[in-house]
Amino acid sequence: MATHNDFGKIAEDLAAEYLQKNGYKVLTRNFRFQKAEIDIIAEKEDLIIIIEVKARSTDAFMLPQEAVTKTKIKSIVTAANHYLEEFNRNNEVRFDIISVLPDDKKKLTIEHITDAFEAFDAN
């Protein structure tokens, strides 16, 4: 497995740990539908939260959350709709992004952006 894939896995593990420490129940990770994937699906206060984890080893070129394009949003929304149908969930849905970046001391930091985008942003 490539090093960037290892870093992505570490970032997802950190994000899941962060969510659990903050009262979220992680329902599933790496949910796939067709070619789309949702990194983490969690639940908190009767909300289903769809979380895209973005990690970068540096923010020199762009912030991790800037990598969530309209095409990516469309695939996340499609997969989220499939998840809700498959598991017969009628909860309200929120779309978040968790950004993972190293700080000046090379320690990984997490930024949780709630309501990062809406389903209609995919249009």
Query: Which CATH number, 3.40.50.11890, 3.40.190.10, 3.40.50.300, 3.40.1350.10, labels domain 3-122?
Result: 3.40.1350.10
Domain spans of the chain, in order of start: 3-122
CA distances from residue 61 to 49, 70, 76, 92 in whole angstroms, order as listed? 28, 19, 24, 34
Per-residue confidence in pLDDT tens, the chain, 123 aa: 445 568 888 899 999 999 999 999 999 999 999 999 999 999 999 999 999 998 877 655 666 667 788 899 999 999 999 999 999 999 999 999 999 888 777 788 899 999 998 887 766
List, in sequence order, every beta strand (DSSP E) within 1-123. 25-33, 36-44, 47-55, 92-102, 108-117
| pTM summary value | 0.89
